[in-house]
Amino acid sequence: MKIYRRIRTWILVLILIALTATVSLIMKNSQNNSVQEDWRVQTERSLQVQKENLKNDAGMPKSLKEKIERDIKVAEYRLQNDIAPTSGMWSNVLTMANMIQLVTIFTVVIAADIVAGEFAGGTIKLLLIRPASRSKILLSKYISTILFSLFLLATLFVSAFVLGGILYGFSGATAAHLFADSNLVIHESSMLLHALNTYGLKCVELIMIVTLAFMISTVFRSSSFAIGMSLMTMFLGAGVSMFLMRYDWGKYWLFMNTDLTMYLEGQPMMKGMTMGFSIAVLVVYFLIFNVLSWTIFNKRDVAA
């Protein structure tokens, strides 16, 4: 009730929908202004450039070389089997997946305030005198925060899908998604399944960042500190990951494992990393964040 009865919440939802519509229209307008040519011509040209880059691979990182090899394999498969690249509606949906970071920011604002705000306003005492236990109160707030993040995620997906269909038509709804694994074997699946997997796996980082913000809010009782620390960690996480890739122990860094979409196409950030390994690392961080939240909240002297 405290989340959905506030005008701030619905302003965030409207901003998300408005930005999705704006980006979709900009993409559509740029495509209309560009010179359209047959996808086969574009693919053959791109294939030639990629092969030239592969020949001149001096100093090229191994990961980039492997990516080019996979792209070449997919392009050749498309030409051989007359399968056009993904465009239109699904391209719009997958592009909007990058806005999950915006969903994370919006949810962090809620997560940072949902506990710290009770302490700042003095209403925490009114909650604790009720028959519900402290653990139940904190759990209800955490679940409410996670459900709100999933609500925003669903809003983003549906908005991108509907706008993509309106702008490009729904005829491509049954399009196929192609990708090559680490052994250069081509796999084919539906674009709907690929889009759902992309959004589903990207929400892992969303949940981890929200859990971190919730923990900081609970431990330090400061909304602004929780928001600042969570967003700083999120924005610096990728940069730190690139630095730690040179060390074997870097694979245990939280943000080295949050983007599980890398396993959809067999492209782990470091050699030896697997989906199971990343999930195990995330579970450990998840448990640490929640144990800190519940332990400190249950033992804190609120009357002091």
Residue 54 has pLDDT above 80, yes or no: no
The burial class, CB within 10 Å (0-12 / 13-18 / 19+), for 118 is: buried
pLDDT, residue 229, reads 83
pLDDT, residue 304, reads 45
> What's the pLDDT tens digit per position in 122-181?
777 787 788 888 888 889 889 999 999 999 999 999 999 999 888 888 776 777 778 777
> What's the pLDDT tens digit per position in 23-53?
988 888 877 665 566 778 878 888 888 888 7
CA distance to 44, 53, 108, 221, 302, per residue, from 123 (Å) = 65, 62, 21, 13, 11
Instruction: Measure the CA–CA gap between 219 and 298, rounded to whole angstroms.
Output: 11
Task: Please tell me the pTM assigned to this model.
Answer: 0.77
Of residues 248 and 13, the one with the higher pLDDT is 13
Phi, psi of 292 (to 5 degrees): -60, -45
pLDDT, residue 288, reads 93
Q: What is the DSSP letter of 132?
A: S
pLDDT, residue 202, reads 83
Cα angle 245, 249, 255; round to 5: 60
As beta bridge partners, residue 24 has none
> What's the pLDDT tens digit per position in 81-100?
877 776 678 888 888 888 88
Of residues 188 and 293, the one with the higher pLDDT is 293
Instruction: Measure the CA–CA gap between 208 and 122, rounded to whole angstroms.
Output: 28
One-letter amino acid of 111: A
- Is residue 167 within 8 Å of residue 63, measured between CB atoms? no
Concatenated DSSP letters for 164-232?
Answer: HHHHH-SGGGG-EEEEE-TT--EEEEEHHHHHHHHHHHHHHHHHHHHHHHHHHHHHH--HHHHHHHHHH
State the chain's mean pLDDT as an integer: 82
Q: What is the DSSP letter of 303?
A: T
Q: For tokens 């700042």, what's the residue? A: 120
Instruction: Measure the CA–CA gap between 10 and 103, rounded to whole angstroms.
Output: 13
Phi, psi of 196 (to 5 degrees): -65, -40
> What's the pLDDT tens digit per position in 191-237?
888 888 888 888 888 898 889 888 888 888 777 888 888 888 878 87
Q: How do the domains of the chain map onto residue ranges?
A: 7-36+86-299
